[in-house]
Amino acid sequence: MYCKCGAVDIARQLFERMNKHDVHSWNSMILGFAMHGMDEAALNVNEYNIQPVLEHYGSLVDLLGRAGPVDEALDIIANMPMEPDVVIWRSILDACSKKMEV
């Protein structure tokens, strides 16, 4: 909720105080960073030794699509160890349609 409202610093403080981080809390923070142009913070989660699952790839594809490098997002999709779901395809389509509007 804090990320969606733009209070990313408060969201980060709450996240850091949490005893346990699951895929949903991580994705919320990554998406919050991405939504507010904090791409380096969104991508700086590799230090926690998390085994990526489909939701992580979806967040990364969405982040790349919002930032502009759609080709990189497509490369991520092509090299994922699992099949992309409809959410990932929707993220890519949204990114492509925004790129065409420009």
pLDDT digits (tens, 9 = 90+) for 8-41: 889 889 998 999 888 888 888 888 887 777 766 7
Mean pLDDT computed over every residue of the chain: 83
Running DSSP on this structure, what letter comes out for residue 51?
-
CA distance 89 to 33: 21
Least Cα distance to 58 among 25, 94, 92, 21 occurs for 92
Residue with tokens 């733009």: 6
Ordered by start, the domain boundaries in the chain are 1-49, 51-102
What confidence score (pLDDT) does residue 42 get?
65
Max distance between CA atoms of the chain, in angstroms, equals: 43
CA dihedral 6, 27, 88, 7 (to 10 degrees): 0
pLDDT digits (tens, 9 = 90+) for 81-94: 999 999 999 989 98
pLDDT digits (tens, 9 = 90+) for 53-64: 898 888 888 888
